[in-house]
Amino acid sequence: MISRESESASRIVALLNSESAAGGDALLDPDRFRAFCSALEIDQAECKVDETLLAMMRELRAAITSCLKEPSSKSAKALENISAKAQLILRVDDKGIPMLSSAAVDSASIAALFVLAIAASSRDGGWSRIRICDAPECNKAFFDSTRSRNRRWCSMSTCGNRAKVSEHRQRQGQRQGEQKVQKKGS
């Protein structure tokens, strides 16, 4: 089991955060998607980046998000459906070493890379450490590398701090409310 972010986990986290990429959603525009792939060192020079691929990638992103946020048979089905398009198969090299691979061609092969990343991160334990920030207005994904596996926010200095301040205020408000009740009662 790993506690460090593997390449597969970081690809998934990057995909989940592609909606709030600098300059807008990286899955809405072919040029931005190519830049997104280059940043992840995914070779897409030979691939056709078209609306079909972008739609498939958005579907995959939504399916992963709902699997992480609210796992259900519906979210599981959505992820299974998109993984079927990735056509994962076992390839065996001439030394007899088996490797999970994709039989998808053209643009689907890029989507397949992310499905392979899910399979790899599930195997190495990275999947269970991918989280979505607890702050309601944030939704940013992050890799939880803490030993206790209970990190709640994408960043302590922004979302974490805000949540702590508001929790503190809430507690104070409750205490003041209790004091008022006590005074009335005495």
* Interaction site with Zn ion (CB under 5 A): 133, 135, 138, 140, 154, 159
Q: How far apart are CA 161 and CA 167, in angstroms?
A: 10
Please state the closest distance from residue 140 (CB atom) to Zn ion, in A. Answer: 5
Strand partners, 131: 142
**Nearer of residues 54 and 135 to Zn ion, judged by Cβ:** 135
Closest approach, Cβ 6 to Zn ion, in A, equals: 22
Q: Which is nearer to Zn ion, 49 or 154 (CB)?
A: 154
Question: Is residue 181 classed as helix, strand or coil in its secondary structure?
Answer: helix
Whole-number minimum distance, CB 89 to Zn ion, in Å? Answer: 38
Find the Cα–Cα–Cα–Cα dihedral 23, 28, 34, 37, rounded to 10°.
Answer: 90
Nearer CB in complex with Zn ion: 85/152: 152
Minimum CB distance to Zn ion smaller for 54 or for 154: 154
- Distance, CA of 153 to CA of 131 (rounded, Å): 9
Decide whether 116 or 138 has the Cβ nearer to Zn ion.
138
Single-letter residue type at 66:
S
CA distance 124 to 106: 28
**What's the closest the beta carbon of residue 73 comes to Zn ion, in angstroms?**
28
Helix ranges (DSSP H) in 20-160:
30-39, 51-69, 73-86, 108-124
- Judged by beta carbon, residue 101 or residue 158, the one nearer Zn ion is 158
Beta-carbon contacts of 4 under 8 Å, excluding residues fewer than 6 positions away, are: 145
Please tell me the distance from the alpha carbon of residue 40 to that of residue 161, in angstroms, as a whole number. Answer: 30
Query: What's the min distance (Å) between Cβ of 167 and Zn ion?
Result: 15
